[in-house]
Amino acid sequence: MNLTVKTTISWLEKFDEKIQVNKDLLTDLDQAIGDGDHGINMSRGLTEVMKTLESKSFQTIGDLIKGVAMTLIGKVGGASGPLYGSAFLKMGAKIGAKEQLSDEELLEALKEGEQAIIQRGKASVGEKTMVDVWSPLLEDFSQETHINWEDLKVAAHEKMTGTKDLHAKKGRAAYLGARSVGHIDPGAMSSYLLFESLAETMMEGENNNG
């Protein structure tokens, strides 16, 4: 199924729902290895994203994603706001004026988002950040022309839980050093929710189309 303006909105609505439902979990994860604000940051940001989507109509996916980026940069705060914001900004720029995206084009856009996170945060794979979901996940699916969304969802879940065993080298959790081991990274969890929302939206679209 191609991503359209309408399904992009469904994706973001689902992400908002999951962030609100998991707000306390994200906060608890950040309490363990950071400063306990990740749930609050993301919840506030997504509430604002929903307001942006309600207040304006977007003709292209690129414009929509850029609008989301500006809201995230302005409203999320913390380390994660600029990181997610840059990711969406680069994705929006890559997508441009398109009204539909194939799986391949969507993967290319997500890859741009991943590169933006790495450029801004300078984290590598294995340093216990959201990069540990984005990078290996997009690498796993880089050769796919048609994504099996159930597989992607399962893979994203694996990458997220995999951050539990890692020793943090970037972000606030790095101050804990080895004591960060044994806890899932909060940004990896919110990134999982982003990919899970996308996968579920795409699967629902495929079912509706036959």
Q: Among 210, 177, 208, which Cα is nearest to 10's?
A: 208
The token duo for 77 is 């705060």
Is the CB of 37 or the CB of 200 nearer to ligand ADP? 37
Residue among 130, 156, 184, 194 that touches ligand ADP (CB under 6 A): 130
How far apart (Å, rounded) are the C-alpha atoms in residues 28 and 23? 9
Vertex 195: Cα angle to 190 and 197 (nearest 5): 90
User: Of 35-43, 95-103, 152-160, 177-185, which part binds Mg ion (CB under 5 A)?
Assistant: 35-43
Q: Does 35 sit near Mg ion (CB under 5 A)?
A: yes
- Cβ of 177: how many Cβ atoms within 10 Å? 11
DSSP 97: T
**204 vs 113: CA distance, rounded Å:** 24
Q: Taking CB under 6 A as the rule, does residue 187 contact ligand ADP?
A: yes
> What, of Mg ion, ligand ADP, none, does residue 196 touch, CB below 5 to 8 Å by kind?
none
- Residue pair 20/43 in contact (Cβ under 8 Å)? The answer is yes
What gap in Å lies between CA 56 and CA 67, rounded to an integer? 9
Partner touching 80 among Mg ion, ligand ADP, none, CB below 5 to 8 Å by kind: ligand ADP
Tell me the closest approach of the beta carbon of residue 153 to ligand ADP, in angstroms.
Answer: 19
30 counts as binding Mg ion under rule CB under 5 A? yes
37 contacts Mg ion (rule: CB under 5 A): yes
Which residue lies nearest ligand ADP, judged by its C-beta? 187
Q: Which is nearer to ligand ADP, 10 or 22 (CB)?
A: 22
The CA distance from 194 to 172, in Å, is 22
Site map 78..117 versus ligand ADP, x via CB under 6 A: xxx--x---------------------------------x
Of positions 16, 37, 103, 200, contacts ligand ADP by CB under 6 A: 37
Residue 185 structure tokens: 């990274």
Q: Which of 53, 160, 188, 193 binds ligand ADP (CB under 6 A)?
A: 188
Residues 6+ apart with CB under 8 A from 77: 37, 41, 44, 45
Q: Would you tell me which residues interact with ligand ADP (CB under 6 A)? A: 30, 34-35, 37-38, 41, 78-80, 83, 117, 121-123, 129-131, 170-172, 185-188
